[in-house]
Chains A and B, each alone.
Chain A
Amino acid sequence: MTVSGSAAQQAAIPEPDVGRSWHMLLAPLIYLAVAAAMVAYTQLVPLDDIERSALRLPFLARRTWEHIRLVFYSTVLVLVVALPLGVLLTRRTLRRATPVVLAVVNVGQATPAVGLIVLLAVVFRIGFWTAVVALFAYSLLPTLRNTMVGLEQVDPRLIDAGRGIGMSAFGVLWRVELPMAVPVILSGVRTTLVLNVGTAGIAAFIGAGGLGDLITAGVSTQRNLVLITGCVLIAVLAMLIDWAGGVAQRLLSPKGLT
């Protein structure tokens, strides 16, 4: 959108080129090494039957994949709802509805995650999609609020300038307000992602799978190794996704803003 021809521009102007320097990759490599070491350890030490069935490699891979899917779908749902809603709530005509909507969204955030997910499972049924909805409700606020803050902090004179040179209201939104709000919006999305990775651990309570399964299994069978493996993998996943979010934020933020 606004970063077209960026290669040529970067050659012309020495921008701080953080996105490409090699030590950017150091952090994720360390995270991956930690996860690999943890998994390797579980495969090498002698295990009893319960542990072995809970720590088989295909089983671990499936749980990790489920976890990622939970995070992915709930985050997509958040984006689909929060971005348009954030835009609407910052338009002049709908600004008055803002407190009401924020109050409702706040309830989702303030309710204890475990309570929310179980409640939803009671109302609907247990399973993957109920967990996705619970995660969505829990992590909607950061993205929504940052979308609104990001749009509201755009200098009104720029909007005025845009209208003044003949952009339509939508044109100003698309070409001026949203690009300028991208850094703030993305940091909200990043928060949502990390929240989701952590909270997706409790999806196991309603049979939605994910790495939370290892934790619940570890607790109920009193196998600490299983429990710890689940915790470590969730933590590593959260950090990896946070790192990826940071990279995306740098790459997608329009150049020219400090």
Chain B
Amino acid sequence: MPETAAGGGGVPIELRAVTKRFPGAAAPAVNELDLTIAAGEIVVLLGPSGCGKTTTMRMINRLDEPTSGDILIGGRSARDIDPDRLRRNIGYVIQQAGLFPHLTVAANIAQVPRLLKWDSGRIARRVEELLTLVGLDPATFAQRYPRALSGGQQQRVGVARALAADPPVMLMDEPFGALDPITRERLQDELLRLQEELAKTIVFVTHDVDEALKIGDRIAIMERGARIVQYARPAEILTAPAGEYVEQYLGGGSSMRLLRLTKVGDIRLDSVPHATAGADARALLAQAEDEGRDFALVVDEAGRPRRWVSAADLAAARGPVGELGEETGPPIGHRMTLQDALEALLNADSDVVPVVGRGQAYAGVLSLSTVQNAIQAIKARERERRRRRLSGLTGDSGDGGSGDGGPGDSGSGPGGGA
């Protein structure tokens, strides 16, 4: 998790006792809201419709003016900045992209640079760069009109438009809400990929729990009046929901969601004895016996997993390992989610599947019990962390949220299969 990765891209945002009262409304839409958003993080505002999450977001770029309170962007009060100028430095993406239908894709993206009075050569270069960045071929798409684009393509253009002037902050108001599930999933992945490069401070509004868990570095779960019920990292929200409201909102299935949230590379993997085909079979056998395994892994020169070889085969062999054993089948990538890895495990011929890291090189192995242990370890860790923080803050860990609070159940034994 890039919690501390401030990058070069983002600036922090701080909401201080922000209240928004719309004329004629009985209750304020946003009531005395305090929220700190770290630079370079994606913070998701999650809540039912009408809870004030969109209003909260719109106050950051002053599309709605706070009735009281203050919003600091990169340390400066938004109040002190001319709203039009402020907004040119804050990317804004809305549902169904909000592209101008009478302008070409290129002209849509060029709007903000134009407002900033860039010269036309620079704008043209930037447009091309951005289209490539969001995965659209400039030659094909630059001169098209939005109506000739699919919903997903339009939303890509919407993101490109928001990024045009390289703003430190992006506001995204249910940007993927109107897309079909497959396109939505793909765009979420691409947003995360982009964010890894750009490290913007992103405020992302949604009512979709899974989207929030997937996208957010932190999630602020809101109820009416934009009251924040819990503001925490996704794993903590899943493992230690703060009270009934959050639990209800999550709607169960927290372990499955943890699987989706966790990358293979983030958990502790098992290891098996491994060597290249040129290595001595006896030596590999001895290593396997040492580690209590009755099989070993043969890797190629680049360290890529190739073949499983059993202890019996090794014992019968003389000299180098050579072409003993059988193919491993497709490995699991270290960037896969645990859910995808689990799927691969269930479909594999063997109980154990090799995991590869950079350059497809061997990084460890995964089995069903590895996954199980990892989930339990995460839960235990999150519970521990929350318990420690609460006791540190209040001296009492009896917060309503921890219905399953005892940290004793899965103890301290992660990676027990090793």
Q: Which residues of A contact B (CB under 8 A)?
A: 2, 8-9, 12-13, 157-158, 160-168, 171, 175-176, 179-180, 254-258
| Minimum Cβ distance to chain B for residue A244 (Å) | 23
Question: B residues within 8 A CB of A180?
Answer: 100-102
- Further 4 A-B residue pairs, CB within 8 A, beyond A9-B143, A157-B95, A180-B100: A164-B63, A166-B84, A166-B112, A180-B102
Central interface residue in A168, A171, A255, A256, by most chain B CB within 10 Å: A256
Inter-chain contacts of B96 with A (CB < 8 A):
157
Q: Give min CB distance, B189 to chain A, whole Å.
A: 24
Q: List 29 A-B contacts (CB under 8 A).
A: A8-B143, A9-B104, A9-B143, A13-B143, A13-B145, A158-B100, A160-B98, A161-B92, A161-B94, A161-B98, A164-B87, A164-B98, A165-B88, A165-B111, A166-B84, A166-B85, A166-B86, A167-B111, A168-B84, A175-B100, A175-B111, A180-B101, A180-B102, A254-B102, A256-B101, A256-B145, A256-B146, A256-B147, A257-B147
| Interface membership of B115, Cβ < 8 A | yes
Check if B148 is an interface residue, CB within 8 A of chain A. Answer: yes
Residues of A contacting B230 with CB < 8 Å?
none
Chain B residues with CB under 8 A of A256:
101-104, 145-147
Q: Are A160 and B115 in contact (CB under 8 A)?
A: no
B145 to chain A, nearest CB (A): 3
With A and B bound together, what is the CA distance between A180 and B145 in angstroms? 14
The SS class assigned to the A binding surface is helix
Q: Is B338 an interface residue (CB 8 A)?
A: no
Shortest distance from the beta carbon of A17 to any chain B beta carbon, whole Å: 15
Structural contact, B94 and A166, CB atoms closer than 8 A: no
B98 touches A167 (CB 8 A): no
CA distance A136 to B162 in the complex (A): 45
Q: Give the distance to chain A from B299, nearest Cβ to Cβ, in Å.
A: 51
Question: Contact at B100–A165, with CB atoms within 8 Å?
Answer: no
**Interface contact B147-A258, CB-CB below 8 Å:** yes
> Which residues in B have their C-beta under 8 angstroms from that of A255?
102, 145
Q: Which residues of A contact B98 (CB under 8 A)?
A: 157-158, 160-161, 164
Separation of A160 and B171 alpha carbons in the complex (Å): 13
User: What chain B residues lie within 8 Å of A254 (beta carbons)?
Assistant: 102-103
Asked whether, in the complex, the Cβ of B84 is within 8 Å of the Cβ of A167, the reply is yes
Give Cα A118 to B98, complex, Å: 52
Chain A residue with minimal CB distance to B140?
A12
Instruction: State A162–B98 Cα separation when bound (angstroms).
Output: 9
Question: Please, how many angstroms separate the alpha-carbon atoms of A145 and B162 in the complex?
Answer: 35
What 7 A-B pairs are tightest by C-beta distance, nearest first? A161-B98, A256-B145, A166-B88, A254-B102, A164-B92, A166-B87, A256-B102
CB distance from A255 to the nearest CB of B (A): 7
Name, among B88, B101, B102, B145, the residue most crowded by chain A CB atoms within 10 Å (CB to CB). B102
**Interface: B161 (CB within 8 A):** yes
What residues on B are CB-neighbors of A175 within 8 Å?
100, 111
Please, which residues of chain A bring their CB within 8 A of the CB of B144? 13
> Restricting to B90-135, which residues have a CB under 8 Å from any CB of A?
92, 94-96, 98-104, 107, 111-112, 115
Question: Which residue among A158, A165, A258 has the maximum number of chain B CB atoms within 10 Å of its CB?
Answer: A165
Docked CA distance A180–B162 (Å): 22
Report chain A residues within 8 Å CB of B63.
160, 163-164
The CA of A161 and the CA of B100, in the complex, are separated in Å by 9
Q: Is the CB of B145 within 8 A of A165?
A: no
Q: Which residues of A contact B89 (CB under 8 A)?
A: 166
CA distance A171 to B107 in the complex (A): 15
A162 to B115, CA, bound (A): 11
Cα distance, A166 to B127, chains bound together (Å): 18
**Would you call A2 and B102 a contact (CB within 8 A)?**
yes
Per the bound structure, the CA–CA distance linking A165 and B103 in Å amounts to: 15
Q: Contact: B87 with A163, CB < 8 Å?
A: yes
On chain B, the residues within 8 Å of A158 by CB distance are 98, 100-101
Measured CB to CB, the nearest residue on chain A to B107 is: A2
B61 within 8 A of A: yes
A145 vs B249: C-alpha distance in the bound complex, in angstroms? Answer: 48
Closest residue to A157 on the B side, CB-wise?
A: B98
Q: Is the CB of A164 within 8 A of B94?
A: yes
Q: For B87, what are the chain A residues with a Cβ–Cβ distance below 8 Å? A: 163-166
The distance in angstroms between the C-alpha atoms of A109 and B88, with both chains bound, is: 45
Residues of the A chain whose Cβ atoms lie less than 8 Å from the Cβ of B162: 165
